[in-house]
A and B are shown apart, each in its own frame.
Chain A
Amino acid sequence: MPLSGIEIFKLLPKKNCGECGVPTCLAFAMNLAQGKAELDACPYISEEAREKLSEVAAPPIREVVIGSDGRVVKVGGETVLFRHEKTFVNPPGIAMLISDAMDDSEIDARIDKLNKMVYDRAGFILRPEMAALRCDSGNPNRFGDVVGRVANSSDCSIMLISYDPSIQAAALEICKGKRPLIYAATEENIDEMIELAKEYTCPLAIKGNGLIGVAKLTSMAMQSGLKDLLIDTGARSLKEAFTHHIMARRAALVGKVKELGFPTIVMACEMSDDLLMQTFIGAIFIAKYGGIIVLSDFQGHSLYPLLLARMNIYTDPRRPLAVEEGIYEIGKPNEESPVLLTCNFSLTYFLVSTEIENSRVPSWLLVKDTEGLSVMTAWAGGKLTADVIAPFVRKCGIESKVKHRKLIIPGYLAPESGALEEELGGEWEILVGPREAANIPAYLRTIWQAA
C-alpha cells in the first residue's frame, strides 16, 4: 500500500534543514508520496524509518536492473493498470536472439545490428538494448566464446538462455560483473539456478507452468533471499500469454500477490516463425505489461515501428513531450526556402514537419521552446508571443541561412503578427499560415509560391 504524504512525514526527522532540495520535511514527504523524490535525498533519515519506508513504498512490481554499464535495462517498477492513471514507468527491454549455433559471421552481423540500429527522432534516441544469447550447441566452451564475443564488442545488456546450470555457470564466469539475466530457472533446476544467481549477483528469470507454477518457484527463490526475478509463464499462444499478463499485473497490483510482482519475459521469438508477426505480437505486449520482449531478429522495418510503439505507450501522460529548440531542415532548403515557426510540443512538431514534407516544398522550420505546450496554450501562457518569438528569430541563426525575410507563423498566432513585425524592427514580413497542419501543403504550394 502506498503511504500518504502525512504518514511519510511522521517518519521523517522533521528538521526542515532543506538539504534534500525542498525547504520543509512536509514538502519532501509530499514529493515522496507522489514519487517525485528519492528517499536517499534525505541525509538524516533513520535506519528504522528507511526500512519502513522502502518496504512500504516499494512498487508492487519489483524494479529489476539488467546490465552494469552501457545499455542497462531497468524493467518493472510499475504501479498502475492503465497509463492514464499515472504513467507506465520503465519501458520494456527489446532483445534480439543470438544462438551459439549460428556461424560467427552471422553472430558478428547481429552484434553489428545491436550496435548500429539507433534512431534519432528529433532528439529522442530510439534503440534496442539487449542480446538474448541462447545455447543451442550444448557445448559450454562454444557458448562461452559467443558470450565473450558479444560482451567484448557491444555495450548492450545480456540475457543468457540455457536450462543447464553448468552451461550457465561457464557463461556467467565469462561475463562476470556484467549483471546478465539468467534464463531460466525451472522446476527441474531451480536450486542450482538460485545458487548461480546468488554467486554472480544476477537477476534470475523463473519459467513455470502457468501462473501458479511460476508463483511456486518465485516463492522458493524469494525464500532463499533472491529479489531480482523475472517471470515467464511458459504461455506461447497469444491468447494465453495475453491473459497471463493481465492476471499477473492485476494479482500484483490489486491482489498484493508478491509471488507475481515481477516483470515478465515475452518470448515472442517462440510465438511465431514470421518476424513481422513476432514484432506485431511484441507491440501487443508493449501495451499489455510485457517486461522484456525477445525477438528472433531485428530488421529496420520491424524494429522501428516497435520502438515507436514503446516510446508512445511509455510517454508520461502527465508531461507533454518536447523536442529541442532550434532550426530543423525539411527536405533540402536553400536561401530562398520558406521559414515556418512552431512550438516544441512533440506532437505538433511531428505533424507540422510531416505536412511540410508532404508539400514537397523544402523548408526551414523554427521550433521555439514552449516547454512542450501546444501553440494555443503556449500563446495564452505568454510563451509564444511577439516578445519571445522576436529574440528567438534573431538569435537562432536563420538570418544567415535565408536571403528573404518572410516568416510564416501558425494561424492561431495571427493576433501577434503586428507586434511581431514591430519587435523585429520591421525587417521581417510576417505571414499568417494555416491553423491546422493539414492545410500546410496547400498553403506552401499556393500562397507561399505567390508571396
Chain B
Amino acid sequence: MDLNIPKETYIGQIREIVIGSNDRAIKVGGESCLPFYTFEGEMPNPIRIAMDVYDYPPEGWAEALLEVYGDVLNDPIAWARKCIEQFGAEMICLQLVSTDPYGIDRPSEEAAKVAKQVADAIDVPLIVWGCGNEAKDMETLRLVCELCEGKRIVVGPVVEKIYARVGAQAIAYGQVVAASTPIDINLSKQLNILLSNLGVPDEQILIDPTVGGLGYGIEYSYSVMERIRIAALLHEDERLAFPMICNVAKEVWGTREAKLREEEAPLLGKAKERGVLMEAITAMLLALAGADILIMRHPDAVALVRRALNELRNA
C-alpha cells in the first residue's frame, strides 16, 4: 500500500548563535525544519534550558521552590552553582529583579557588578535579564554589557525603546541581545530590522516573543511563535530567522494556581507536582512552537522537559 504523505520543503534556515566564550559555550538555532520534524529537516543543536537565579531574595515564591532554593536565595553565586552542579543547568539566567524602581530600586551600578561576579564565578553561559522597567533596564543592561566584556552573554529584554542604547553597547562589547516585543510577529520583525540597521550583527540577535503561562495566554505566544518560525523557514523571512528565547518560569510561578497550597485547593492536588507540571507543560508547548532557549526554575520540571527534548530530537 502506498500512502501519499507529503513532506515539506523548507527554504529558510534559522541562524546559529553562539553564547558564551569558553569551552562550555553553546550554540543554538540552525534548524531547517519545524521543531522536531526531523523526518524532513535538521535540528543541529539541542534546545537549551537556562535556570533562573535572582539577584535578590524573591518574595512570595511557592513552597516548592523555596524547598529547593531556600539555602541560596541570598547568594546569587551559590544559587547559580547549585543549578549547575546539582541540576545540570547548561546556562544561567540572572534576573536583576532588585533594580525595579517600584521595588528595591537597587542602583544599576550595583546590580551590574553582581552580574559581573556571577559571570566570573560560573563556567556556563550567562543570560542577564532586567526588571522590565525600560528606563532602568537601559541603564543597567548598558553597564552589564560593558562589565561582562569578552563573555558573550545574552542581555534582555531589549525592547524597542531601549534598543539603540543597549544595542550599541552589545556591538561594542560583543554581547547577544534578546530582542523583546509584546507577542506580535510584525513588531518582532520590525525590532530585528532596527537592530540590524543599528549595526548589531545577525550572530548577536535572539528573538524574545514574550510568553504567557499555561492558563494565562500561552496560546497567543504559541501561535505567534509558530508563525515566526513558519515565516522564517517556509517563506524565507530572514529577519525572523533567529533563535527564540522564552522567559518561562516567571510567568508560570507567578500565577495563582502554581502558588496555591494543597489545603487551599484540595481538588488541585499536590502543590509541588502541580507547579512542576505547569512549568514543564508551558515550556514544552513553547518548545513545540519554536523556542530555542527556555528559562526555567524547578529542577523536576527541567528534568521532564529535558527528557522529552532529547527523545524528540533524536531519531
A residues sitting closer than 8 Å to B (CB atoms) are 82-84, 116-117, 119, 121, 211-212, 215-216, 219, 237-239, 242-243, 246-247, 250-251, 254-257, 259-260, 276-277, 279-281, 283-284, 287-288, 299-306, 308-309, 311-313, 315, 317, 347, 350-351, 353-354, 357-358, 438-439, 442
Q: If A301-B269, A317-B219 touch, does A254 touch B1 (CB 8 Å cutoff)?
A: no
Question: Which among B3, B273, B280, B311 has the greatest number of chain A C-beta atoms within 10 A?
Answer: B3
- With contacts A300-B274, A312-B215 known, what are 5 further pairs, Cβ within 8 A? A84-B226, A237-B311, A276-B273, A304-B267, A354-B255
Most buried by A among B1, B216, B227, B277: B277
Interface residues of B in 263-315 (CB under 8 A from A): 265-274, 276-278, 280-281, 284-285, 288-289, 304, 307-308, 311-312, 314-315
Query: A357 CA to B304 CA in the complex, in Å?
Result: 29
Q: Does B222 contact A (CB under 8 A)?
A: yes
A279→B273 CA distance, assembly (Å): 11
What are 12 contact pairs spanning A and B, CB under 8 A? A116-B267, A215-B1, A247-B5, A255-B6, A279-B277, A280-B284, A281-B308, A284-B308, A300-B270, A306-B277, A358-B60, A438-B132
Q: How far is the CA of A84 from the CA of B4 in the complex (A)?
A: 25
Interface centre among A306, A312, A350 (most CB of B within 10 A): A312
Docked pose: A299 CA to B273 CA in angstroms: 10
Point out the residues of chain A lying under 8 angstroms from B315, CB to CB: 239
Contact A280 B277 (CB under 8 A): yes
- What residues on A are CB-neighbors of B219 within 8 Å? 83, 312-313, 315, 317
Type the 1/0 row for B208-222, where 1 means its CB is closer than 8 Å to any CB of A: 000010111111101
Do B223 and A211 touch across chains, with their CB atoms under 8 A apart?
no
B269 pairs with A311, CB closer than 8 A:
no
Chain B residues proximal to chain A, CB less than 8 Å: 1, 3-6, 36-37, 39, 60, 102-103, 132, 212, 214-220, 222-223, 226-227, 230, 254-257, 265-274, 276-278, 280-281, 284-285, 288-289, 304, 307-308, 311-312, 314-315
With contact pairs A283-B285, A300-B267 given, residues A276 and B276 touching in the complex (Cβ less than 8 Å): yes
Which of B3, B272, B276 makes the CB contact (< 8 A) with A215?
Answer: B3
List of 8 A-B pairs having minimum Cβ-Cβ separation, nearest first: A300-B269, A301-B269, A301-B274, A255-B4, A301-B273, A308-B215, A84-B223, A312-B219
Q: Is the interface of A mostly helix, strand, loop or mixed?
A: helix
- Select from chain A the residue with minimum beta-carbon distance to B276: A276
Task: Find chain A residues with CB under 8 A from B280 CB.
Answer: 276, 280
Contact between chains at B4 and A276 (CB < 8 Å): no
In Å, the complex CA distance between A281 and B257 comes to 21
- Establish whether residues B281 and A301, one from each chain, have CB atoms under 8 Å apart when the complex forms: no
Please measure, in the bound complex, the distance between the C-alpha atom of A8 and the C-alpha atom of B284, giving whole angstroms. Answer: 42
Contact of A304 among B102, B218, B257 (CB under 8 A): B257
A259-B3, A280-B281, A305-B278 known; A246 vs B37 contact (CB < 8 Å): yes
Q: Known interface pairs A276-B276, A438-B132, A442-B102. Does A308 touch B267 (Cβ–Cβ under 8 Å)?
A: no
- With A238-B311, A315-B219, A351-B216 already in contact, the answer to whether A301 and B3 are too (CB < 8 A) is no
Contact of B285 among A237, A242, A255, A309 (CB under 8 A): A309
Using known A-B contacts A277-B304, A315-B219, A350-B216, determine if residue A284 contacts B277 with beta carbons closer than 8 Å.
no
Roughly how many angstroms separate A259 CA and B103 CA in the complex, as a whole number? 60
B269 & A304 in contact (Cβ 8 Å cutoff): yes
Alpha-carbon distance A239/B35, docked complex (angstroms): 12
Contact B314 A300 (CB under 8 A): no
Q: Which residues of A contact B6 (CB under 8 A)?
A: 250-251, 254-255
CB distance from A279 to the nearest CB of B (A): 6
A280 touching B308 by the CB < 8 A rule?
A: yes
A238 near B273: Cβ-Cβ < 8 Å = no
Q: How far is the CB of B45 from chain A (nearest CB, A)?
A: 17
Q: Which residues of A contact B215 (CB under 8 A)?
A: 121, 308, 311-312, 350
CB distance from A354 to the nearest CB of B (A): 5
* Cβ–Cβ contact A251 & B5, under 8 A: yes
Q: If A239-B315, A246-B37 touch, does A212 touch B1 (CB 8 Å cutoff)? A: yes
Q: Indicate if the CB atoms of A347 and B216 lie closer than 8 Å.
A: yes
- What is the minimal beta-carbon distance from B202 to any residue of chain A, in angstroms? 26
Which A residue sits closest to B305, measured CB to CB? A280
Residues of B within 8 A of A256 (CB): 4
Least CB distance from B83 to A in Å reads: 21
Residues of A within 8 A of B102 (CB): 439, 442
Asked if A82 and B3 sit within 8 Å, CB to CB, the answer is no
A301/B5 in contact, CB under 8 A: no
The reply to whether A257 and B5 contact each other, CB–CB distance below 8 Å, is yes
Name the B residues within 8 Å of A121 (CB-CB): 215
Give bound CA distance, A351 to B230, whole Å. Answer: 29
**With A and B bound together, what is the CA distance between A358 and B314 in angstroms?**
41
Asked if residues B214 and A308 are in contact (CB atoms below 8 Å), the reply is yes
Q: Which residue of B lies closest to A126 (CB)?
A: B215
Q: Of all chain B residues, which has the CB nearest A358?
A: B60
CA distance A39 to B272 in the complex (A): 49
CB pair B5–A288 under 8 Å, yes or no, is no
Check B274–A305 contact: CB distance below 8 A.
yes
> Are A304 and B268 in contact, CB atoms less than 8 angstroms apart?
yes
Shortest distance in angstroms between A187's beta carbon and chain B's nearest beta carbon?
A: 13
Does B269 lie within 8 Å of A251, measured CB to CB? no
